[in-house]
Structure 1
Amino acid sequence: MHDLLKMVQAAAVKRWDGMRIEVDCVFLMRPRIIEKVRCVATIGPGDNGEAVMTVLCLPLDD
C-alpha cells in the first residue's frame, strides 16, 4: 500500500489536473502471479475540510 501511495503522490506532482490521477501498477498476487492494475485516485476535501484521497483499482472497483 505504501508503494501505491508513493506512486500516486509522484504522479500528482507531475500531472495533477485537479480531478483525478491514473497510474498503472504491478502487484504480486501469489507466488509468480503478477497482475497489472490501473489505479485511479481522486483527492478532495473531507467533511471538515481536510484532504482526503480515494484510490480505486480498475477493473475490480470500476
Structure 2
Amino acid sequence: MKNNKNSTWTIVFWIVTIICILQYLFIALPRLTETPNVTGAYYFGSLLPNSVIIFIFWLIKTKAKK
C-alpha cells in the first residue's frame, strides 16, 4: 500500500511539473518577449510561481515516500 501511494504522488508530481513547464513556455515566455525593456529579473520573477508550485508538490511526494 505504501508503495502505491508513493507512485501516485510521483505521477502527480510529474504531471504538475509538465503543466508548469508548458505554461511557462507557451504563456509566460511569449508575453515576456513581446514586452520591451525586459531584464533578467522579469524572467526570474516569472519562474518563481511555477517553481513554488513544483517545490510544494515535491515536498508532498517526499513526505509520501516516508
Give TM class, smaller chain: 0.3 to 0.5
- Higher strand fraction: Structure 1 or Structure 2? 1
Which has the bigger relative contact order, CA under 8 A and spacing at least 6?
2
Which protein has the larger Cα radius of gyration, Structure 1 or Structure 2? 2
